[in-house]
């Protein structure tokens, strides 16, 4: 395992799914993890789980769609750790099923506020401290929908393309500061997020088969498999990796 020993880390959306797997994996690798989530009860449960496994974690209740919450989270972490945050994982996000014709403006705005502006708010609040220390890693969770079109995922695809673009722009702007900015583009992953999407269909089992079919491995990813990529990108071994959109998709795009 790549070491994150003594690194101060923030993981948003850390109470479930990929975020929870990243938080647990970071803690196992030696990091102090701020479990950032808008669900306080679920966040507390994740902190307890990490501590029971011998890791270090702190709860940070925050709604990343709100700039004030992001600023408050950043200030707290920096104050408590001598103006240091080594790794920020912008994982929190939401989805929506529909084409441009069935996606109402309010839904597009909701996804944009959380999936894009949330990353913008928190990155903007943390980045100056990383630049000052000339060290840091920001990891944004995008999707294969950030590098290709996806049917009936208009708003989600728009926002995830924006995440990939934001990652690349930040990497170019700050490449000489010692801060690395990358994103991960997972294929379809077995999470509560995906389970909720499945229930939107008349026949969930049939649609699950359709979801699995495009992957060369003929299965969905497990959250820990995505978390493993995050551990690598957060580690010092990834020192020459920035501006990357790392695809972890079980061969989803291999046949495209």
DSSP the chain: ----TT-EEEEETTTSHHHHHHHHHHHHTT-EEEEEES-HHHHHHHHHHHHHTT-EEEEEE--TTSHHHHHHHHHHHHHHTTS---EEEE-------B-TTT--HHHHHHHIIIIIIHHHHHHHHHHHHHHHHT-EEEEEE--GGGTS--TTBHHHHHHHHHHHHHHHHHHHHTTTTTEEEEEEEE-SB-SHHHHHHHTTSS-HHHHHHHHHTTSTTSSPBPHHHHHHHHHHHHSGGGTT--S-EEEESTTTGGG-
243-254: average pLDDT = 96
Q: pLDDT exceeding 70 applies to what percent of the chain?
A: 100
Is 200 a residue whose pLDDT tops 80? no
More confident residue, 227 or 150: 227
Q: Which residues are catalytically annotated? A: 156
Q: What is the pLDDT of residue 192?
A: 83
Mean per-residue pLDDT over the chain, rounded: 96
For residue 193, name the pLDDT band (cuts at 50, 70, 90).
confident
Q: Tens digit of pLDDT for each residue in 35-63?
A: 999 999 999 999 999 999 999 999 999 99
201 pLDDT tier (thresholds 50, 70, 90): confident
- Return the pLDDT at 195: 82
Q: What is the model's pLDDT at position 15?
A: 97
Whether the per-residue pLDDT at 221 is higher than 80: the answer is yes
Band of residue 27 on the pLDDT scale cut at 50, 70, 90: very high
How do the domains of the chain map onto residue ranges? 8-187+226-247
**Greater pLDDT, 190 or 10:** 10
pLDDT at residue 106 in the model: 98
Which CATH fold topology does 8-187+226-247 show?
Rossmann fold (3.40.50)
Confidence of residue 33 (pLDDT cuts 50, 70, 90): very high
Query: Residue 2: CB partners within 8 Å, gap ≥ 6?
Result: 29, 231, 232, 234, 235, 237
211 — pLDDT class (breaks 50, 70, 90): confident
pLDDT digits (tens, 9 = 90+) for 127-186: 999 999 999 999 999 999 999 999 989 999 999 999 999 999 999 999 999 999 999 999
pLDDT band at 2 (very low <50, low <70, confident <90, very high): very high
């Amino acid at each position: 395992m790549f070491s994150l020993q003594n690194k101060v880390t923030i993981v948003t959306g850390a109470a479930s799914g990929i975020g929870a797997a990243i938080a647990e994996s970071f803690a196992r690798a030696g990091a102090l993890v701020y479990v950032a989530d808008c669900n306080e009860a679920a966040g507390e449960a994740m902190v307890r789980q990490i501590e029971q496994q011998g890791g270090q974690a702190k709860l940070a209740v925050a709604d990343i769609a709100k700039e004030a919450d992001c600023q408050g989270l950043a200030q707290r972490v920096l104050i408590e750790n001598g103006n240091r945050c080594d790794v920020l994982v912008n994982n929190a996000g939401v989805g929506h099923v529909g084409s441009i014709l069935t996606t109402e403006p309010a839904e597009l705005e909701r996804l944009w506020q959380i999936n894009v502006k949330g990353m913008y708010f928190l990155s903007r609040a943390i980045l100056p401290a990383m630049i000052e220390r000339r060290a840091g890693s920001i990891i944004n969770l995008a999707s294969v929908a950030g590098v290709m079109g996806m049917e009936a995922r208009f708003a989600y695809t728009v926002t995830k393309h924006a995440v990939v673009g934001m990652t690349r722009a930040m990497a170019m702007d700050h490449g000489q500061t010692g801060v690395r900015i990358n994103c991960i583009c997972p294929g379809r992953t077995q999470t509560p997020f995906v389970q909720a999407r499945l229930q939107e269909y008349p026949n969930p089992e049939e649609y699950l088969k359709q979801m699995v079919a495009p992957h060369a491995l003929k299965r969905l990813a497990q959250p820990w498999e995505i978390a493993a990529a995050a551990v690598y990108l957060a580690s010092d071994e990834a020192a020459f990796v920035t501006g990357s959109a790392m695809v972890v998709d079980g061969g989803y795009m291999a046949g495209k």
